[in-house]
Amino acid sequence: MSQTAPVISPTEISSPEGDVELDVDLPWIVLVWNDPINTMDYVALVFRKLFGYSKEKANRLMLDVHEKGRAVVSSGPREKAEIDVFRLHEHGLWATMQHDK
Amino acid sequence: MVAAFRRARKGGVTVTFGTDESRVLRHVLAEMLDLLGSGDDTAGSSEDPLTAAVGIGTSTSAPEDPALARLFPDGYTDDPESSADFRRYTEPGLRAAKRGALETAVATLGEPGERVVLTPEQAEAWLRALNDTRLVLGQRLGVTEQWDELIESLPDDDPRLGLFWVYDRLTYLQETLVQALWTGP
């Protein structure tokens, strides 16, 4: 289906629900991965729509996804990252979240 | 007749589907709704009514069907535990959202030859419905970055050609919608 994604090893230890306070200082990043089905125009439109990015920034991010295999599209606390991932999945983009290094 | 979405006033869009297009779209959208099901099909589950009521599912791993799995990817990079938790809490809502978009598309197909006027919300639903449909079709066909060359190499009697044609048409249709929405407010 999609290009082989680079393996990125998370440095954080997966924390159970009760330890939310431990990772409050560690930012989360949301990645969008390239895939051969989503069109470039569509991906850029989704970035504009979901994150309010300018056309230029949306296009730049989309090109990063296309040429480098993935791009960081947003970052923040865990809860925000999860919402962003959900909305990206809602639009059919292949998105994952992980700790920023 | 080749349908194309066009901008309308106040952020909406218009489209007119011909008879054949309307028939194919109706069929494909119905198949998508069948594929997505109602969410009660998680194997071996008898959900606690309370958790089901607040939208928590029982599924902790991606669907076995690769096409479905593409619609419901893991939420965390290389973290099966967090992904499983995330899936339990979000998959039912995600499934419902995708179904909603498909149902809106079905409900606003209009009659063949009828000029349909869509609100911005309906246009957004069409965008997601078309893209999810393309994801499933593309997954089933094994679309890659080099799929143009792949089609060229298929013999004339390859059964995939028909499905590629539908995929191609949906891609064009979605592109016209993206263009119509891109230049909007």
Per-residue pLDDT at B45 exceeds 50: no
User: Do A98 and B78 lie within an 8 Å CB cutoff?
Assistant: yes
* ipTM of this complex: 0.89
| Shortest Cα distance, chain B CAs vs residue A1, angstroms | 6
Q: Is-contact B85 A17, C-beta < 8 A?
A: yes
Residue of chain A whose alpha carbon sits nearest to that of B82: A14
User: Do A92 and B78 lie within an 8 Å CB cutoff?
Assistant: no
Contacts for B40 with CB less than 8 Å, ≥ 6 apart? B47
Give the integer Cα–Cα distance in Å for A60 and A72: 11
Tokens of B153: 């190499």
pLDDT in tens, B118-128: 999 999 999 99
B105 is a domain residue = yes
Residue A16 has a pLDDT of 52
Per-residue pLDDT at A3 exceeds 50: no
B131 is a domain residue = yes
B48 is a domain residue = no
B12 is a domain residue = yes
| C-alpha count within 13 angstroms, C-beta hemisphere, residue B89 | 13
Give the integer Cα–Cα distance in Å for B137 and B55: 28
Beta-carbon count within 10 A of B149 CB: 9
B75 is a domain residue = no
DSSP structural state of residue A7 = P
Predicted TM-score (pTM) of the model is 0.85
Helices (H), ranges, chain B: 19-36, 49-53, 66-71, 80-107, 120-141, 147-153, 160-182
Give the integer Cα–Cα distance in Å for A12 and B57: 26
Q: Does A8 touch chain B (CB under 8 A)?
A: yes
User: Do A31 and B135 lie within an 8 Å CB cutoff?
Assistant: no
Q: Is-contact A1 B140, C-beta < 8 A?
A: no
Q: Does A74 touch chain B (CB under 8 A)?
A: no
Q: With residue B118 as reference, give the H or E element that holds it.
A: strand B115-118
pLDDT in tens, B134-184: 999 999 998 988 877 888 888 888 888 888 889 999 999 999 999 999 865
B83 is a domain residue = no
pLDDT in tens, A13-68: 554 555 455 555 679 999 999 999 999 999 999 999 999 999 999 999 999 999 99
pLDDT in tens, B67-99: 999 999 999 999 999 999 999 999 999 999 999
Provide the Cα torsion A35, A38, A40, A45; round to 10°.
-130
B26 is a domain residue = yes
Closest to A71 measured CA to CA, from A55, A56, A80, A59 = A59
Number of domains in chain B: 1
Residue B56 has a pLDDT of 79
Taking CA atoms, B131 is separated from A22, B98, B126, B128, B185, in Å, by: 38, 10, 8, 5, 22
Ordered strands of the B6-7 beta sheet: B6-7, B13-16, B115-118
Q: Which B positions 39-98 lie with beta carbon below 8 A of chain A? A: 66, 70-79, 81-82, 85-86, 90, 93-94, 97-98
B31 is in which domain, residue-wise?
A: 6-39+93-182
Provide the Cα torsion B103, B132, A41, B114; round to 10°.
-30
**Which structural domains are found in chain A, ordered by start?**
24-99 (3.30.1390.10)
Spell out a b/e string for B96-112, using b for 16 or more CB atoms within 10 Å of the CB, else e. ebbbebbebbeebbeee
B55 is a domain residue = no
Chain CA centroid to CA B45, Å: 26
Pairing state of beta strands B6-7 and A94-99?
Answer: unpaired
Q: Is-contact B128 B171, C-beta < 8 A?
A: no
Residue of chain A whose alpha carbon sits nearest to that of B133: A92
Q: With residue B116 as reference, give the H or E element that holds it.
A: strand B115-118
Q: Does B18 touch chain A (CB under 8 A)?
A: no
Q: Which B positions 108-147 lie with beta carbon below 8 A of chain A? A: 127-128, 131-132, 134-135, 138-139, 142-145, 147
